[in-house]
Amino acid sequence: MDAKFFKLLLLGGVVRFYFSRTPLAAMIGNRVEFATPLNSHKRMQEGIFLLQSGIDPYQGDLVHETPLILSALSGLFQKYPHLLPAFYIILDVFTAALLYLMSRRFVRQKQEQQTTEQKHYAKDTAELQFSDLDKYDIPELVIVAYLFNPLTVMNCIGMTSTVISNLFLASFLYCLVKGLLLPCLLVLAFETVRSFYPIVLIAPLLLVFSHNSIRRGLVITLLFIASCLGVAYANFLVLNSWNFLDGTLGFIFYFRDLQPNIGLFWYFFTEMFEHFRTMFLITFQLNATVLYLLPLSIKLRKEPLLLATVLVALMTVFRAYPSLGDVGFYLALLPLWKRCWKFMAHGFVVFTFFLVTLSMMGALWHLWIYAGSANANFYFGATLAFSTGQIFLITDLLFAHVKREFCLFKGQKIWIDGVEARIVLK
């Protein structure tokens, strides 16, 4: 860690602090693109107030944060509310620091792996291999992509609990790369009990720690289940009630709040007939969790961190209550795969999708809700296009990784009878 690292952290904190003092912070806290029923700052305030008043926060359908988080933050919310922006800024900056440290360790591991495999590489693949400069460039790109992405900045100043989720996910990735099994299990269990979808990250965890041993994998799986049960029981002790399970995991799975967001659930469940709800509910939840888990785990069994990145991105796209803060997190992981960028063919298309759809969301929301000159189809069209852009990005990254792996060992040029093959249009 050098002086540049600390300067970036300081600058990222200053940017967040500046915008937290502007009217933009209050506006972001009310925007459906950032604040959902799960991560809303207002709902967390309500939950803490009910908890402090001796009322079960989960008797109604307003609070969906876990009792441990509500209890841990109650003192800060009640006694020092003026310090809340600084608290969220510190958490977000710490998340960036963890991503930086994780990426440094990752590049070092890839270079060690490359040293053992290099004798099998083709001769014309130097630009596809990790270089000494990558030890500095990639971590810097990661920390810049997180600290100065407008999505993560606005997510932070809006004080959504996605800031906490990003911290747990960054901690998981750091422990995964460092090879710390127990912290990895505990962090993943805690986040799984909070938001359900991170359960899919058990796959990269098993790839890293099981060492191709089925017995060891079963033991780790049992430890993960025990960790989840332990976290659930700790939440039970706060309220002496299991109501929180229905208010958190049950609320997510059954999708009870149809408030619009950037995801795909709300529009379908608003428009469909009620007797189809169970079928579509199971279909959508399978799509967001286990549908892609096995094939991706098989294909990326040698790249657990890439598998984790793709799974985080997929659960962001397909989860019940996504927010732009979730999107900002996985975008910060893309520089890890800098050596694949040469083969990513849809960069301009994805950038255009993101730019246009993010610009249109605010305008179409205003036309629908305030001006009354549009309807839900307009807003959903923008969010559907945004999700499509994300899918283009994820598939482009996967194809780029496959192409890079092929070219590393087979070469970037194809030779036929000693002559370089060329595609000629006639």
Residue 172 resides in a domain: yes
pLDDT recorded at residue 211:
85
Residue 396 resides in a domain: yes
Q: Name the residue range of residue 196's domain.
A: 3-420
Residue 231 resides in a domain: yes
Number of domains in the chain: 1
pLDDT tens readout for residues 42-53: 999 999 999 998
* Contact (CB, 8 A) for 354 and 328: no
Residue 311 resides in a domain: yes
Residue 426 resides in a domain: no
Dist. CA 227–CA 229, nearest whole Å: 5
**CA–CA distance from 164 to each of 39, 73, 157, 329, 369 (Å)?**
9, 11, 13, 12, 30
The pTM assigned to this predicted structure is 0.94
pLDDT tens readout for residues 73-124: 999 998 999 999 999 999 999 999 999 999 999 999 999 988 888 888 888 7
Within the chain, which residues score under 50 in pLDDT?
Answer: none
pLDDT recorded at residue 400:
94
Residue 409 resides in a domain: yes
List the helix and strand counts (H, then E) for the chain: 20, 2
Strand partners, 416: 419
Strand partners, 419: 416
Tokens of 208: 């890293």
Residue 366 resides in a domain: yes
Residue 276 resides in a domain: yes
pLDDT recorded at residue 417:
63
